[in-house]
Amino acid sequence: MAFAIPKETFSGKVFEVTIGTDKTAVFGGENVLPFHSFEGSVPHRPVIAYEIQDIVPDDWPETVKKVYESVSGDPVIWAKYCQDTLNAKAIALRLLSTHPDRENRSPEDAAKTVKDVLAAINVPLIILGSNHVEKDSSVLVAVSEAAKDKNCIIGKAQEGNYKTIAAAAMANNHKLVAMSELDINLSKQLNILITQMGFDKERLITDPMCSALGYGLEYTYSVMERIRLAALTQNDATMQPPMLADVGMYVWKIKETQASESELPHWGCLAERGITWEAVTATSLLMSGAELLIMRHPEAVKAVEKFIDELM
């Protein structure tokens, strides 16, 4: 008797999200666990966006900073480099300069930066604030208007500012990242609050927060896995938006990606260590259900793209 592979089917499905206008990127849409195409439909591969910032990154380790040292002084040049040289499928622009503890640039300055970057590229753009709840409220409204009808992702909406940011994203035809703090119930609650405002749940991206390998990754994995299982097994519409893993910002600040070889020679080559750390963190979160990644090092991106190729 021929062996029949046992298959598990689910009643739910992850929403499919399309971003961009000239060139688009599509992610989500699956009705099975990550990469289980033998059990159902996995219509789109996960999307990796390259992170850029609107100021020269002074807190990135040299191993990743030097990759962009010739372009990081100008976000427009940096964005074009990622698109044209690194073949980025999407770009994530972090408006770090607007943070009150950094350069405290105005929403108007941020809006101009976004317009300039959008004029220079044709791949989809993810526009992220500085993660300062109050300042992001004004900054993300301004940039949302500046990018009107460009079908960007705006973020991150949090409990303290979601009303303002969701309203701006809705008025200007953007997708929205909803970020909660590593708790499935908080994630569900925020998605419900945003959709109760009239925001289409199929235009949401859930960010359950992220962590790096060795720094609570297993807890992040568990939360994301539970969100994905709720979407598929319970057909819970509030849990069916695709998920974002903001990998780079969590990986490249930890000791393992910064400690020198002279300080810790038994840890091996620093450059290879950092790339591996970002790649392993990213692939782990893909397996937990993430459909959109934000990463920094091109070599780590290559490794993860190869991983996706093999699993798809």
Omega prior to 306 cis, within 30 of 0: no
pLDDT at residue 4 is higher than 90: no
Q: Note whether residue 1 is domain-resident.
A: no
pLDDT at residue 262 is higher than 90: no
Q: Note whether residue 221 is domain-resident.
A: yes
| Number of domains present in the structure of the chain | 1
Q: Note whether residue 2 is domain-resident.
A: no
Nearest 5°: the CA angle 17, 21, 24 is: 50
The pLDDT score that the predictor gives to residue 281 is 98
Q: Note whether residue 167 is domain-resident.
A: yes
Residue 88 belongs to domain spanning: 16-311
Structure tokens at 214: 């060795």
CATH number of the domain at 164, please. Answer: 3.20.20.20
Pairing of strands 25-28, 90-94: unpaired
Q: Note whether residue 9 is domain-resident.
A: no
The model's pTM: 0.95
Q: Note whether residue 102 is domain-resident.
A: yes
Q: Note whether residue 195 is domain-resident.
A: yes
> Is the separation of the CB atoms in 19 and 153 below 8 Å?
yes
Residues 6 or more apart whose CB falls under 8 angstroms from that of 117 comprise 75, 76, 79, 91, 93, 125
Q: What does the pLDDT look like over 129-169, one tens digit per residue?
A: 999 999 999 999 999 999 999 999 999 999 999 999 999 99
Tell me the H-state helices in 121-215.
133-146, 162-171, 184-196
Q: Note whether residue 256 is domain-resident.
A: yes
